[in-house]
């Protein structure tokens, strides 16, 4: 699988408590991206953040986490990301989705 040099970065922000089909939303997104043969997906968990509600979500030493922020990043060709967006829309109830153009300098490894 190749990703073109001129690609798109899909970045998806939501809370770790979000679910889809009884799975954590981040896991459901990664599984669907893999099923649709996207180039790859990375899940990042934040330590502190806030969103539309302006409520701070954070970790505290003496308290369990409170719906910490999660970001899923996916890079692939524009047409593959465009095909994924309606699927993603059906999975999310709230959150923030952004797109930006990127240049892929390396993807995978090549063996001599």
Q: Distances in Å between the alpha carbon of 102 and those of 9, 30, 97?
A: 6, 20, 16
What is residue 34's predicted lDDT score, i.e. its pLDDT? 97
Domain boundaries, the chain: 6-103
Asked whether the predicted pLDDT for residue 18 surpasses 80, the reply is yes
- The domain 6-103 is placed in CATH, from the list 1.10.645.10, 3.30.70.120, 1.50.10.10, 2.40.160.40, at 3.30.70.120
**CA-closest candidate to residue 30, choices 13, 42, 20, 21:** 42
**CA-closest candidate to residue 6, choices 108, 80, 96:** 80
34-92, pLDDT tens digit by residue?
Answer: 999 999 999 998 866 666 666 666 666 555 557 788 999 999 999 999 999 999 999 99
What is residue 58's predicted lDDT score, i.e. its pLDDT? 63
Rounded to a whole number of angstroms, the distance between the first and last alpha carbons of the chain is 18
**CA-closest candidate to residue 32, choices 22, 19, 41:** 41
The reported pTM is 0.84
Please give the average per-residue pLDDT across 84-107, as a whole number. Answer: 95
What is residue 57's predicted lDDT score, i.e. its pLDDT? 65
Asked whether the predicted pLDDT for residue 1 surpasses 90, the reply is no
């Amino acid at each position: 699988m190749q990703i073109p040099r001129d690609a798109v970065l899909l970045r998806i922000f939501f809370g770790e408590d979000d679910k889809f089909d009884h799975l954590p939303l981040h896991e459901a997104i990664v599984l669907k991206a893999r099923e649709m043969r996207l180039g790859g997906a990375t899940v990042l968990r934040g330590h502190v953040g806030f969103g539309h509600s302006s409520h701070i979500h954070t970790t505290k030493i003496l308290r369990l986490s409170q719906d910490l922020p999660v970001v899923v990043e996916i890079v692939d060709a524009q047409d593959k990301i465009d095909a994924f967006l309606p699927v993603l829309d059906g999975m999310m109830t709230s959150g923030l989705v952004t797109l930006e153009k990127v240049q892929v300098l390396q993807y995978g490894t090549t063996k001599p």
